Amino acid sequence: MTERRTPTLAIVGAGAVGSTMAYAALMRGAVRRVVLHDVNAAKVRAEVLDIAHGIQFMPMGEIDGSDDVSICAGADIVAVTAGAKQKPGQTRLELAEATVALTRTIMPSLVQVAPDAVYIMVTNPVDVVTYAAMKVSGLPPTQLFGSGTVLDSSRLRWLVATEVGVSVHNVHAYIAGEHGDSEIPLWSSASVGGVPLLEWERQTGQLDAATRARIATEVVTSAYQIIEGKGATNYAVALAVARIVESIVRDERRVLPVSTLLQGWQGIDDVCMSVPTVVHRGGPGERLAVPLSEDERVALIRSADQIRSVARNLGF
Would you please indicate which residues are annotated as catalytic (active-site) residues? 179
Nearer to ligand NAD (CB atom), residue 26 or residue 126: 126
Q: Report how far residue 277's alpha carbon sits from residue 214's, in angstroms, rounded to the nearest whole number.
A: 26
Q: Report how far residue 180's alpha carbon sits from residue 96's, in angstroms, rounded to the nearest whole number.
A: 12
For 288, residues 6+ apart whose C-beta sits below 8 A from its C-beta are: 255, 275, 276, 277, 278
Map residues 115-144 to x or -, x wherever contact with ligand NAD holds by CB under 6 A: -------xxx-x------------------
Q: Is 43 in the site for ligand NAD (CB under 6 A)?
A: yes
Q: Is 85 in the site for ligand NAD (CB under 6 A)?
A: yes
Q: Is 39 in the site for ligand NAD (CB under 6 A)?
A: yes
Q: Report how far residue 234's alpha carbon sits from residue 20's, in angstroms, rounded to the nearest whole number.
A: 6
Q: Is 36 in the site for ligand NAD (CB under 6 A)?
A: no
Nearer to ligand NAD (CB atom), residue 102 or residue 273: 102
Binding span for ligand NAD by CB under 6 A among 2-10, 36-44, 157-165, 242-250: 36-44
Determine contact, residues 242/30, Cβ cutoff 8 Å: yes
Determine contact, residues 136/230, Cβ cutoff 8 Å: no
Residue of 15, 65, 257, 283 that binds ligand NAD (CB under 6 A): 15
| DSSP codes joined into one string, 128-162 | HHHHHHHHHH---TTTEEE-TTHHHHHHHHHHHHH
Nearer to ligand NAD (CB atom), residue 152 or residue 201: 152
Q: Is 154 in the site for ligand NAD (CB under 6 A)?
A: no
Residue nearest to ligand NAD (CB): 15
CB of 20 to ligand NAD, least distance (A): 8
Q: Report how far residue 135's alpha carbon sits from residue 316's, in angstroms, rounded to the nearest whole number.
A: 8
Instruction: Please give the residues from 197 up to 236 whose contact with ligand NAD meets the rule CB under 6 A.
Output: 232-233
Total residues contacting ligand NAD (rule CB under 6 A)? 31
Q: Report how far residue 181's alpha carbon sits from residue 107's, in angstroms, rounded to the nearest whole number.
A: 26
CB of 232 to ligand NAD, least distance (A): 4
- CA neighbor of 72 nearest in space, from 26, 8, 18: 8
Nearer to ligand NAD (CB atom), residue 106 or residue 272: 106
- CA neighbor of 285 nearest in space, from 248, 316, 236: 248
- SS3 of 19, please? helix
Nearer to ligand NAD (CB atom), residue 233 or residue 306: 233
Q: Return residues touching ligand NAD (CB under 6 A).
A: 12-18, 37-40, 43, 81-83, 85-86, 99, 102, 105-106, 122-124, 126, 147, 151, 179, 232-233, 237
